[in-house]
Structure 1
Amino acid sequence: MRPTWLKAAVLGTAAAMTLVACGNSAETTSTPSASAPSTPSAPALSKSELEALAVAASKKAGSPTKVPKITIGYLRYVAQSPADQRMYESAVAAAKILGWTVIQCDGQGDPAKMAACGNTLLDQNIDVLLNDGIPQTVIATALQRAKREGVPAVYSGGSLDEADLYTAGYVPPDGEMGTALAAYVAGQMKGRSGGAIVQGFPASWGVERVDALKAAGVKIASQQDADATNLVQGTQQQIAAQLNQHPDASAVWITFETAVLGAAQALKARYPGKAYPDRPLLATFYANRPTLDLMRKGEVDAAVENSLEWSSWTAIDQLAELKARNTPMSKDVRPNYGEGLDFWRSTLVTKDNLPPAGQLVPPPVDYETFFTAKWKHEFGAGS
């Protein structure tokens, strides 16, 4: 499958690198293109500014009302994934403010289990089927059933090529994230022999990320896909084999964020006590806590971070409008809530701009404060 949306901006520096997403981007085909380094479109908003914007957004939605109590069935791609954990936990936190219940089922990266999970959740009379970016072909039967039963089906966190069976979806700019990371990797590889060992993933977001690397002109030494059912040990074995076949490789690119844990183990075993540039560069997506810990140890070199929790909060907000007002959910994968509220801006993280130990990179916009204030004014939630 080929990527279906996103425009891209190249970022060319190593530290504290941020990029601006596309605002109201529709799902149209776009090829990553080079441009000057980007900076945030607006400074970080203060709590009072966020609360004022939240009040404005709630008034735009309509007069204060009540939101009904519902149960969300959350179908998890693979609960082992730190990114999955972030999206699921943020969905639970957001739903709790509205008094909603969330039940879950772990697909464990296995298409058969994901398909079974979808129907298992629907059997429990859920009001919403929510997941973190599962391709509709994998759970088509469950999605078709949800549509027949009038249950909204929503995805967040991962772009999809085709989503006509879904009610809506909200996702980070994977193409832009790939372009930012690719620019950094390309810059680091200049003057070094050998290409990049690439581990991709057969989903539209995975294709977009790898396409960005190729568009940056990076030489590809080898390319294989990750096994979602065996992300750590399987990746360790896969990357170890590729390092043996390509001993002059200059970089290792990991598309599925959890797999970087296995890649780091493979590099550590082959290059004990070595850090880049005395071993290949290791780059990946999402600066999850385990990845940040490895970066502090010098075992991972770069990760493009997106505070992807915003997509869960956005999904919950859109569902609240649907349930409370019968307002159709936005078809924009990154809805416009107001100027400066581009929650999805991304940051390239290296050893030069690590957050304090135990913490994630702060979001460019405090989505939690915004939505909490919006729901308090609009629905009386959390009062």
Structure 2
Amino acid sequence: MTRINPRAAAWAALLAGALALTSCASSQGTASNGGGNKDVSAAQKVLDEAQAKVTSFDFPKEPVAAPKDKLVVGIPCAYAAEGCKREVDTIAEAAKALGWRYQMIDPAGDPEKMRSAVRTAIQLKADGIFLGSIPSSVVKDDITKARAGGVKVVNMSEPADDGFADANTLYDHIKAGRWNAAYVTVTTQGAGKVISVNDPEFPSVVEWHQGFADGLKELCPGCQVVKDINFQIANLQTQVPSEFQATLQANPSVNAVWTAYDPVALSLSPVIKRSPQNGKITVVSQNGDAGALQAIKAGDQPFKATIGVSVEWQSYAAVDQMVRLFAGNLPANLKTVNVPEKLIDAKNVSSIPWDGDLDWKSTYLKLWKTS
């Protein structure tokens, strides 16, 4: 999430409260063979899996000695964005525990400043760079130069081509979208009339959308996407509410909405509450931002479910990768780590933000030998 807009202020304003961390044209969706399908048992099975408590994880098995006197740089998509801020703040916390020097460089959502931040890290003679929700296509050339100079790079959150970074910490976006589809299928009893509000600028969102669309085809043959609304991040507060309102008016049978990420879902809630469909629409999204979980827990919003990710867990997994890169022994099975995720609705909000259900922090700290 490539999700980029040159207007940094718009970027930061939208993404405040998002993970993240980040075409104006809309197109008619392809309809399924409507009519509903009361047998939603397959979707319910997927939903049970999606909402289950996380009870295990394949943590690294081997302890590793953490090298001393390292300088690491955290580059978030925009520090004003909740998810990106949490990513790099947690990197700072873990770096302190390891006795490393740490510096954060905030590009504030500006693509040129993202590239400049990488170049600054090289000039600082950083030993490692953590990219927090930075689209790989924006910084690819500068990251190539950094790695050629011996800088280790860990990419967080956003999908990237093989070879872009030394390691990646991600989560399964396709699965998350499929879980959204299962939730819509069950809540509409196989008769969803869906509006999709998508931001195809971001690779992660593209994957979420793919998982949702494919999941509906698989689990809900009686569901129908009545409209796909595509937007750019800078237009969230201007284009999206008005276009969404017009779409609701033109499609009074709509009973479900999928959105690209939590801030979109939150921005559409007032529009839905003012509409004749208020109380009849289920909104689903992903990120698990604190504001989203609070709204879902309150239960008085159309926003009913989101895919939660423990951003802090992801950052500790990224630091573990960096420790092993510095030590020269990152095994192939740890080059890409997918941290757990969970579909959260009002029934299973256990923490805000979601803590991942496991004590991952103590596990990683025990793995890192610092003396």
> TM-score per shorter chain, which class?
0.7 to 0.9
- Equivalent AA in structure 1 for residue 78 of structure 2: V
Q: CA deviation at 1:11?
A: 5.7
- Equivalent AA in structure 2 for residue 223 of structure 1: D
Task: Give the corresponding residue for 1:352.
Answer: 347
Task: Give the corresponding residue for 2:313.
Answer: 310
Task: Give the corresponding residue for 2:356.
Answer: 363
The whole-number CA distance in structure 2 between the counterparts of 1:90 and 1:11 is 35
RMSD of aligned alpha carbons: 3.2
Alignment check: 8 A CA contact 1:110 1:229 kept:
no
Aligned length: 324
Other structure's SS at 1:155 match: strand
Alignment check: 8 A CA contact 1:147 1:165 kept:
no
Instruction: Provide, for residues 46-76 of structure 1, a one-character-per-residue CA deviation record: whole Å limited to 9, x for no partner.
Output: xxxx9xx88x631xx4xxx452222222221
The whole-number CA distance in structure 1 between the counterparts of 2:344 and 2:83 is 16
User: How does 1:291-302 map onto structure 2 within 5 Å?
Assistant: 291-295=292-296, 296-299=298-301, 300-302=303-305
- Equivalent AA in structure 1 for residue 98 of structure 2: L
User: How does 1:1-383 map onto structure 2 within 5 Å?
Assistant: 12=44, 17-19=48-50, 43=55, 57-58=62-63, 61=64, 65=65, 67-160=67-160, 162-190=161-189, 192=191, 194-215=193-214, 216-217=216-217, 218-229=223-234, 231=236, 235-270=240-275, 276-277=279-280, 280-295=281-296, 296-299=298-301, 300-323=303-326, 325-328=327-330, 330=332, 332=334, 334-335=336-337, 344-355=339-350, 359-375=352-368, 378-380=369-371
292-301 or 255-264, larger mean C-alpha shift? 255-264
Alignment check: 8 A CA contact 1:302 1:349 kept:
yes
Other structure's SS at 2:84 match: helix
The whole-number CA distance in structure 1 between the counterparts of 2:360 and 2:159 is 20
Alignment check: 8 A CA contact 2:199 2:233 kept:
no
Task: Give the corresponding residue for 2:13.
Answer: none
Instruction: Provide, for residues 311-347 of structure 1, a one-character-per-residue CA deviation record: whole Å limited to 9, x for no partner.
Output: 2111111211222x22246464554xxxxxxx83322
Alignment check: 8 A CA contact 1:174 1:208 kept:
yes
Q: CA deviation at 1:303?
A: 0.7
Q: CA deviation at 1:353?
A: 1.8
The whole-number CA distance in structure 2 between the counterparts of 1:144 and 1:222 is 40
Instruction: Provide, for residues 261-291 of structure 1, a one-character-per-residue CA deviation record: whole Å limited to 9, x for no partner.
Output: 32223323446xx8542xx211111222110
- Equivalent AA in structure 2 for residue 176 of structure 1: K
Other structure's SS at 1:213 match: helix
- Equivalent AA in structure 2 for residue 302 of structure 1: A
The whole-number CA distance in structure 2 between the counterparts of 1:114 and 1:238 is 31
Q: CA deviation at 1:219?
A: 2.2
Alignment check: 8 A CA contact 1:169 1:331 kept:
no
The change in CA–CA distance for 1:261 and 1:213 in structure 2 (over 3 A counts) is same
Instruction: Provide, for residues 17-47 of structure 1, a one-character-per-residue CA deviation record: whole Å limited to 9, x for no partner.
Output: 444xxxxxxxxxxxxxxxxxx956x8469xx
Alignment check: 8 A CA contact 1:319 1:329 kept:
no
The change in CA–CA distance for 1:198 and 1:228 in structure 2 (over 3 A counts) is closer
The share of aligned pairs that are identical, in percent, is 18
The change in CA–CA distance for 1:85 and 1:12 in structure 2 (over 3 A counts) is farther
Q: CA deviation at 1:368?
A: 0.6
* Shift >6 Å, 4+ stretches: none
101-110 or 285-294, larger mean C-alpha shift? 101-110
The change in CA–CA distance for 1:334 and 1:12 in structure 2 (over 3 A counts) is farther
The change in CA–CA distance for 1:193 and 1:142 in structure 2 (over 3 A counts) is closer
Any stretches of 5+ residues in structure 1 without a counterpart? 3-9, 20-37, 336-342
The change in CA–CA distance for 1:140 and 1:207 in structure 2 (over 3 A counts) is same
TM-score under structure 2 length normalisation: 0.75
Alignment check: 8 A CA contact 1:174 1:205 kept:
yes
The whole-number CA distance in structure 1 between the counterparts of 2:300 and 2:197 is 20
The whole-number CA distance in structure 1 between the counterparts of 2:283 and 2:84 is 21
Any stretches of 5+ residues in structure 2 without a counterpart? 3-41, 218-222
- Equivalent AA in structure 2 for residue 212 of structure 1: G
